[in-house]
Amino acid sequence: MPLTIACDETKAADLDEVVEYMFENKISPEDQASLMEAAPMLRRLANNKSFLAEMVCEELKSYDTLQSSNNYSAQVFMLYRPQRKGQSFFMRACFWPSNADQVVKTSGTDPFFYNKPHDHNFNFLTVGYHGPGYWSDYFEYDYDQCDGVRGESVPLRFIEQSKLDTGKVLLYRAFTDIHNQLPADSFSVSLNIMENSMRASMMDQYAFDLQASKISDLINRTTSISLFNAAAALGNDEQKDVLRFIAQQHSIDRIRLSALDALAHSSTDQDEAIKVWASVKDSDTAFLRGWRKVRTTEIETFATAQLRA
């Protein structure tokens, strides 16, 4: 499970102090030991019970530019965005409503990632800032032993169920910790120092089926899927050659998968779609070979269902 970091800090700090501490001490969130050194400062920020409300109210004065650099959903309030050359971190606040809150009654729990077991392809430090905190069922697994294919069996080690109490500091470890977040008992807020590195783009992030102990999907945040689908749907054959090149040559398997998906989705029939997946060679990685099998099975299953309909 995430590492609990004992912090008995009673002093309070403002956001600028924490940011400058990160830069002055060259804290590198990609390095777990380095990120842990920032835990006392994050706890001091959590002791400052006025800064977040002040920031929110200040931004509300200019609602037309409110959180203009925030690429997350409305659950996240960006505290300090990536803005300096070589910046290895950013900071955010996350809002965790309870099942009794109107936003959950209206939108459900999906926007808050409740009941969606997942890992992370980045480290981050978190502290409970307000309220009782969200609950989590915590598991651990061995990322290096996974191919990353939907339906792949993965040994999961259940650790415990606990919640992020106010003042509690946790280090979530990339490629190790899995958590199934559950709604807070009442509205809660956490503060995060997030890793800002290339491996969040290069490495895979997974969702899990805990009952079956399997990978259920890839959940990386990426724009390539929609762009590739648009190119495949709107482009001519010559333009689709760009996607074919990406599908065969890109250095990141997940990007190759997105290109293959787009080409298969734009196919005119089942045989053409299967031919797309047949372009994955037996010499390719286990990731691509596994997804070839998954997608081919999906195509064949859909075709059989259509015949029976």
Q: What is the pLDDT of residues 182-214, one digit of tens each?
A: 999 999 999 999 999 988 888 999 999 999 999
Contact indicator for 204, 121 with CB cutoff of 8 Å: yes
Cα–Cα distance, 88 to 122 (Å, whole number): 11
Q: Is the pLDDT of residue 67 over 70?
A: no
pLDDT band at 139 (very low <50, low <70, confident <90, very high): very high
Those residues with Cβ within 8 angstroms of residue 297's Cβ, 6 or more apart along the chain or in another chain: none
Say which residues have a Cβ less than 8 Å from residue 263's Cβ, sequence separation at least 6: 232, 240, 243, 244, 247, 276
Which range is least confidently modeled, 22-36, 73-87, 152-166, 284-298? 73-87
pLDDT in tens, 252-302: 999 999 999 999 999 999 999 999 999 999 999 999 999 999 999 999 988
Q: Is-contact 255 246, C-beta < 8 A?
A: yes
User: For all residues of the chain together, what is the average pLDDT?
Assistant: 92
pTM, full prediction: 0.90
pLDDT digits (tens, 9 = 90+) for 73-102: 667 888 998 888 889 999 999 999 999 999
